[in-house]
Chain A
């Protein structure tokens, strides 16, 4: 069964450094998402991406963050100048369509620790 994959599974970085989290969505999906889950808190939406542009973003997704689909398979989240509070589990998701009833399929997550 096709699945969303994410790399790395764990990342440790120093405060102020840049990190790139990578995702390979399911191959025939057209909509891509990033969410994060700070330890012990709820899963929060960051951004959605369709047709090579951001279709929706939350107030969390400020200029520190960017997303890119550099080729036909990868979808990346870049965090510039990381802060301690960026430590979280980051989930990538994808879906075939953008309708409300469409299922979003999640990857296993990347656990980011900023020291």
Chain B
């Protein structure tokens, strides 16, 4: 079945550091890929998405590129802020299905 694997957290960075959160997936066909963010005490918010190979999703300084050859969708940001502290979820939605399949989430903590 479909699955998403994310790097284990928590990840602790200093402000202005470079962020990478790895995400790889297994799916039949050509899924759409998403990154959702969950701030403390809140629900899931879409951060960015990509719907086909080589697409780059970007938002709020975050970006991720859909790499079909490596089945990956790694999240990156050049300079993190304390306000980026949250849990980040990689997810996929396979063609023909309704559900999102999520990874386990990676907690990011950014310190001054």
Q: Is A91 in contact with chain B by the CB < 8 A criterion?
A: yes
* A91 partner residues in chain B, CB cutoff 8 A: 43-44
**Across the interface, do B99 and A101 meet the contact criterion of CB distance under 8 Å?**
no
**Across the interface, do B44 and A101 meet the contact criterion of CB distance under 8 Å?**
no
**Across the interface, do A33 and B103 meet the contact criterion of CB distance under 8 Å?**
no
Chain B facing A: main interface SS: loop
Query: Which chain A residue shows the least CB distance to B27?
Result: A100
Query: Which chain A residue shows the least CB distance to B42?
Result: A108
Contact among B31, B43, B99 with A58 in the assembled complex (CB-CB below 8 Å): B99
**Across the interface, do A33 and B99 meet the contact criterion of CB distance under 8 Å?**
yes
In angstroms, how far is the closest chain B Cβ from the Cβ of A104? Answer: 6
In angstroms, how far is the closest chain A Cβ from the Cβ of B48? Answer: 10
Q: How many Å lie between the Cα of A35 and that of B91 in the bound state? A: 13
Partner-B contacts on A (CB < 8 A): 4, 31, 33, 35, 41-45, 48, 50, 55-56, 58, 91, 93, 98, 100-109
